[in-house]
Amino acid sequence: MKYLFTLAALFFTLGTSHAEISASHRAAIEKLLTASQVEKQIEASMGPALDGGLGVTEEQIKSMPEAQQVKMRAGIAKVKAFMLETLAWDKIKEEVIAAYARTYSEQEATQVTQMLESEAGKLFLAKQIAVTPDMVKVTQDKMKAAVPQIMQIMQQEMQK
């Protein structure tokens, strides 16, 4: 009986994590996504994230023989195109809606949307979207600089 109760609780938990949201909650979330310009924010961060995420700097490419530079740039362009297609808004929209719906109640989504539609909210969003690529670059540069220390820590731990 104890196991049956546990399985029932697990089923209920898993079932509710993917539960449908009400039409009004969905509408509030979609309005919030539009007001917060999530699609533009994702697009603004995509290029810099892909540049840094591929792990090859322009300096590294320039140090290669010219023929290898051409091949590397072509490969990077193909990977970027693939990832942009894979992460296109129409392919991730439903998952984004679900994530926001788990995070914001209908009332919260409505309140945040109202704030974002104000003049101050619009100004904030415009500036936020403009600064996103710079912030991605800052964090990627810091991560790249930390790689030697990370490798040293991991090496030390592996030798214990």
Instruction: Please state the pTM of the whole predicted model.
Output: 0.66
Domain chopping of the chain, boundaries:
23-55+92-150
**97-127 per-position pLDDT tens digit:** 999 999 999 999 999 999 999 999 999 998 9
What pLDDT is attached to residue 54? 66
- Residue with more model confidence, 18 or 84: 84
**60-71 per-position pLDDT tens digit:** 888 889 998 888
Burial zone of 121 (CB within 10 Å; 0-12 exposed, 13-18 middle, 19+ buried): middle
